[in-house]
């Protein structure tokens, strides 16, 4: 797994108000809720996902979805996989696909917060993988 992927996971969690840093037996983890089902998901402070924790792209990569923070979220592998196999490859105008995207976007927006400075995050990832273009894009 690349450092870029870890950054995406960290920033997806940091900008989601359900995620916080918890102490578990002297070790600190990032803990919060799956964007689909609210099950608790964990990652470590370096962005390494716990078992079954994955990065969700709300508008699927298949349909040109970017790494914009508003388009990424933390999800269970199972939830993410179900959306991937059942929906992501449907045509863009498919009503079910659109309904799911709309619902997830609304949920992501409702959970949105600015990333807490106390988390000491690595630099914010660019929307498209590769050299940082230098112009921070506005996700709003």
Distance from C-alpha of 86 to C-alpha of 25, rounded to nearest angstrom: 39
Quick one: DSSP state of residue 28?
Answer: E
By C-beta, is 10 or 76 nearer to Zn ion?
Answer: 76
CB of 108 to Zn ion, least distance (A): 14
Q: Under rule CB under 5 A, how many of the chain's residues touch Zn ion?
A: 6
Spatial contact of 116 and 125, defined as CB atoms under 8 Å apart: no
Q: Which residues pair with 21 in a beta bridge?
A: 30
CB of 41 to Zn ion, least distance (A): 8
Classified as helix, coil or strand, 130 is coil
For Zn ion, the binding residues in 45-64 under the rule CB under 5 A are none
By C-beta, is 54 or 71 nearer to Zn ion?
Answer: 54
Residues 6+ apart with CB under 8 A from 121: 7, 10, 11, 14, 115
Q: CA nearest 19: which of 3, 40, 49, 5?
A: 40
By C-beta, is 36 or 67 nearer to Zn ion?
Answer: 36
**Binding-residue pattern over the window 21 to 40 for Zn ion, x denoting contact by CB under 5 A:** -------------x-xx-x-
By C-beta, is 15 or 80 nearer to Zn ion?
Answer: 80
For Zn ion, the binding residues in 70-129 under the rule CB under 5 A are 76, 79
Spatial contact of 29 and 44, defined as CB atoms under 8 Å apart: yes
CB of 25 to Zn ion, least distance (A): 24
Binding site for Zn ion (CB under 5 A): 34, 36-37, 39, 76, 79
């Amino acid at each position: 797994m690349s450092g870029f992927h870890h950054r995406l996971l960290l920033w997806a969690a940091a900008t989601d108000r359900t995620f916080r840093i918890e102490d578990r037996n002297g070790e600190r983890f990032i803990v919060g809720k799956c964007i689909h089902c609210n099950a608790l998901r964990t990652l470590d402070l370096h962005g390494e996902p716990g078992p079954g924790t994955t990065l969700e792209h709300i508008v699927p990569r298949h349909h040109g979805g970017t790494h914009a923070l508003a388009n990424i979220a933390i999800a269970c592998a199972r939830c993410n996989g179900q959306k991937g196999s059942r929906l992501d490859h449907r045509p863009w105008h498919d009503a079910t696909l659109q309904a799911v995207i709309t619902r997830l976007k609304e949920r992501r927006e409702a959970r949105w917060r600015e990333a807490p400075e106390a988390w000491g995050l690595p630099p914010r990832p660019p929307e498209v993988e590769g050299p940082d273009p230098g112009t921070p894009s506005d996700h709003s």
